[in-house]
């Protein structure tokens, strides 16, 4: 069955939105296969965000992801990779449509990095790679 890696980023955990985000995943009909509060490491983040290395927002992004615990989640179900991206909404929370996690719960806080509450894998290849990174024993 298809699986995706979801992260409730440090802003989501800090704001107490972990439950609300898990609720939306379950309400949509997806299954939670793993849920773990983790403190990210620079090693895991360097691999997780390898595609963004060299971009101006890379260093602030890694710093933000280290600023507090993240809730790492494996969600499963047919179509869950695209389905969760759709639940999450556009990367920029100001532009994200109402009804989405970022559109309903996120905003621009005037910071260096878009704090947009969640991450979701963007393809089957990244999903398998990212699940292996965050849940090496799964």
Residues that bind ligand GTP (CB under 6 A): 57, 61, 91, 113-114, 116, 119-120, 122
Least separation, in Å, of the C-beta of 90 and ligand GTP? 7
Least separation, in Å, of the C-beta of 25 and ligand GTP? 14
CA nearest to 121, candidates 112, 130, 113: 130
Q: How far is CA 64 from CA 82, 98, 134, in A?
A: 25, 25, 17
Q: Is 119 a catalytic residue?
A: yes
Q: Decide whether 109 or 137 has the Cβ nearer to ligand GTP.
A: 109
Q: Decide whether 77 or 120 has the Cβ nearer to ligand GTP.
A: 120
Least separation, in Å, of the C-beta of 19 and ligand GTP? 20
Active-site positions read 119
């Amino acid at each position: 069955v298809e699986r995706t890696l979801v992260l409730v980023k440090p802003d989501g955990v800090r704001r107490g939105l972990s439950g609300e985000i898990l609720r939306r995943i379950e309400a949509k009909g997806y299954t939670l296969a793993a849920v773990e509060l983790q403190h990210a490491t620079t090693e895991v983040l360097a691999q997780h965000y390898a595609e963004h290395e060299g971009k101006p927002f890379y260093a602030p992004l890694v710093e933000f992801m280290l600023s507090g615990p993240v809730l790492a989640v494996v969600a499963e179900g047919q179509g869950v990779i695209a389905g969760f991206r759709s639940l999450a909404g556009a990367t920029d929370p100001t532009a994200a449509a109402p009804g989405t996690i970022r559109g309903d719960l996120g905003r621009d806080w005037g910071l260096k990095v878009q704090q947009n509450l969640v991450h979701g894998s963007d393809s089957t290849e990244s999903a398998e790679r990212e699940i292996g990174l965050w849940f090496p024993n799964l």
